[in-house]
A and B are shown apart, each in its own frame.
Chain A
Amino acid sequence: MLAVSGALHVVAGGALALAPASFDRMPLAGAHIVEVKMVTLAPTRPREAAPAPRPAPPPPPPKEERVVIPERVRAIEPEPPKPKPPRQQPAPEPEPEIDYGDALEALRDELGEPDPAAEPEPDDDAVAPVAGSATGRTVAPEVARWVSRVKRRVRGAWVLAPGFHTQTLQTDVEVFLGRDGEVKGVEILRRSGNPWYDQSVERALYRASPLPPPPEPGSWPFSFSPEDAR
């Protein structure tokens, strides 16, 4: 047994020893031997080492670079004096808009269903003290319901550029409402410090006009902030 095993090992060893030689014999088409010598380069002096008046370091031919950025169009003439913004004029003939929120609410009113999106409203005429209010005043339910509808409508009409959403801004205004809810005028009581923000507030009120008819015509205070209460 041992003899058989030994003979097999000898045969296998011989085959392995011969195999590389057979691979070497395979012809390499078009091959040639390149001899490489590793040498150490003498340290070259940096050609661009000399500073200021441009030492001209051309050796490796710098490739020509072409720049294809076209020239810009420029504003040539300055803007004539800009009109200083506000001094609000009453809006000329605001037209009614379709407000699906209002339409839905009207339907809910008709069916006696509560509005899931609306702020909580009292369901009777009771006038209770308002917790947390600085004045402890109360609001009648019909006013609260109107306020809720007005909020929804004005928010839907208010457009803010993305940059404003993260800022702390507040604009307080007094809005003059007609009996039918038409926005007759807007007076800014407290400016935010950003005129474009203040303008967006005014624009929102006129865009939202006419608001739902108020409980009483006249002036109503509004306060606008970018913070989203959702």
Chain B
Amino acid sequence: MIPRRALLAIGSLLAAVAVAAPASGQGRPTIDIRGARGEGYHAAVQRFLPDPGADRAAAELQLALREGLEFSSLFTIVDEKAFLEPVRSPALDRVRTPRCANWSQIGADVLVQGQVFTTADGIRVEFRLWDASSCRALIRGKRFTGRAQHAGRLGRVIADEIVAAVTGTPGVSDTEIAFVSDRTGDKEIWVMDASGGHQRAATRNRSISNFPDWSPSGDAVVYTSYRYRNRPWLFVVSRGTRSPGRILRGLPKDHRMYRGVWDRTGERLALVMSVDAAADIYLVHPDGSGLRNLTRNRAIDVSPS
């Protein structure tokens, strides 16, 4: 005779085996998988086939692509020495399904193939992304053009596209970070690649510049600077321009603007401005039009986001 307590224990143990209502008609228990523990995918990247004269650009692109994929922390790159297939990508002029078994066998989850063409004013890059296990094209063909000297950048753009194809969210290897540095003796706005490289000054005000914030499109930065009459003022600097725009030029001098941030559309800025002692949040278009209060009270309202 089995004691009642033992029976109860067996019953509760069985309950923990995660048996739920059958999803199929065969009366089998549903196997609940909760939480992923996989550490990342393995990407095999075949060397992009270059047009004559595009070898150097293709090599630079290849390096940046691999670095961009690894920067995502989602991929590790499969060593070319393990390849059972050619190291170099085939021409993409016709749809050709790769021998996926040979890629799965070396542990590759995805396969990247591509080609670099020379054009009149630069290069054109085409690439394809395959899921090695299902042998399905995740990206059947995508093209980018640019100058040959921007091949590295194109490689990072492609890496971000690959991350997007797998996760639904683009990678960030081709993004930039704006930050404040006083390495020249003054607080200036600086910009660097997401990996920390290619650091360069975006302002040379020889004053105090602070609080940079990228516009959603990545084409402009708003920041606060004391360069004009030693008062905090908001400036917008756009990509490719040389002179930053001071926002709200016509404000009386007792107004103080401390910080601005972009809204999601990039059409407006939220800014902190004080007229009397108390700061309030305002909304304004980047050209300075449409200024209006968002808050209006005696307390100090700061840090819009």
Chain A residues proximal to chain B, CB less than 8 Å: 46, 48-52, 54-55, 57, 60, 62-77, 79-80, 82-83, 85, 88-89, 91-95, 97, 119-122, 126, 128-135, 137-139, 143-144, 147-148, 150-151, 154-161, 163-164, 172, 174, 189, 194-197, 199-200, 202-204, 206-207, 218-230
Question: Cβ of A172 and Cβ of B133 under 8 Å apart?
Answer: no
Question: Cβ of B135 and Cβ of A92 under 8 Å apart?
Answer: yes
Q: Whole-angstrom distance between the alpha carbons of A180 and B16 in the complex?
A: 26
Question: Cβ of B136 and Cβ of A174 under 8 Å apart?
Answer: no
Question: Cβ of B206 and Cβ of A63 under 8 Å apart?
Answer: yes
Question: Cβ of B23 and Cβ of A50 under 8 Å apart?
Answer: no
Question: Cβ of A65 and Cβ of B26 under 8 Å apart?
Answer: no
Question: Cβ of B11 and Cβ of A129 under 8 Å apart?
Answer: yes
Given contacts A65-B244, A230-B35, contact A174 B23 (CB under 8 A): yes
Q: Whole-angstrom distance between the alpha carbons of A52 and B288 in the complex?
A: 10
Interface residue? B139 (CB, 8 A): yes
A165 to chain B, nearest CB (A): 8
Question: Cβ of B252 and Cβ of A49 under 8 Å apart?
Answer: yes
The number of residues on chain B lying at the interface, defined by a beta carbon within 8 Å of a beta carbon of chain A, is 91
Question: Cβ of B202 and Cβ of A131 under 8 Å apart?
Answer: no
B267 to chain A, nearest CB (A): 20
Interface residue? B82 (CB, 8 A): no
Given contacts A158-B37, A225-B32, A228-B35, contact A68 B11 (CB under 8 A): no
Interface residue? B57 (CB, 8 A): no
26 pairs from A and B in contact (CB 8 Å cutoff): A49-B250, A50-B250, A63-B227, A65-B227, A68-B202, A69-B200, A72-B239, A73-B144, A74-B146, A76-B143, A80-B142, A119-B17, A120-B16, A128-B11, A130-B14, A130-B19, A135-B22, A139-B29, A155-B34, A155-B37, A159-B39, A195-B168, A203-B133, A221-B30, A223-B31, A225-B34
Question: Cβ of B29 and Cβ of A189 under 8 Å apart?
Answer: no
Question: Cβ of A130 and Cβ of B15 under 8 Å apart?
Answer: yes
Question: Cβ of A63 and Cβ of B35 under 8 Å apart?
Answer: no
Residues of B within 8 A of A227 (CB): 34-35
Q: Known pairs A159-B41, A219-B24, A223-B23. 7 more at Cβ < 8 A?
A: A63-B204, A68-B200, A69-B200, A93-B101, A135-B22, A172-B23, A228-B34
Q: Whole-angstrom distance between the alpha carbons of A188 and B19 in the complex?
A: 19
B151 to chain A, nearest CB (A): 9
Interface residue? B205 (CB, 8 A): yes
A179 to chain B, nearest CB (A): 15
Question: Cβ of B133 and Cβ of A147 under 8 Å apart?
Answer: no
Interface residue? B201 (CB, 8 A): yes
Interface residue? B20 (CB, 8 A): yes
Interface residue? B28 (CB, 8 A): yes
Question: Cβ of B36 and Cβ of A226 under 8 Å apart?
Answer: yes
Question: Cβ of B229 and Cβ of A131 under 8 Å apart?
Answer: no
Given contacts A69-B202, A120-B16, contact A160 B36 (CB under 8 A): yes
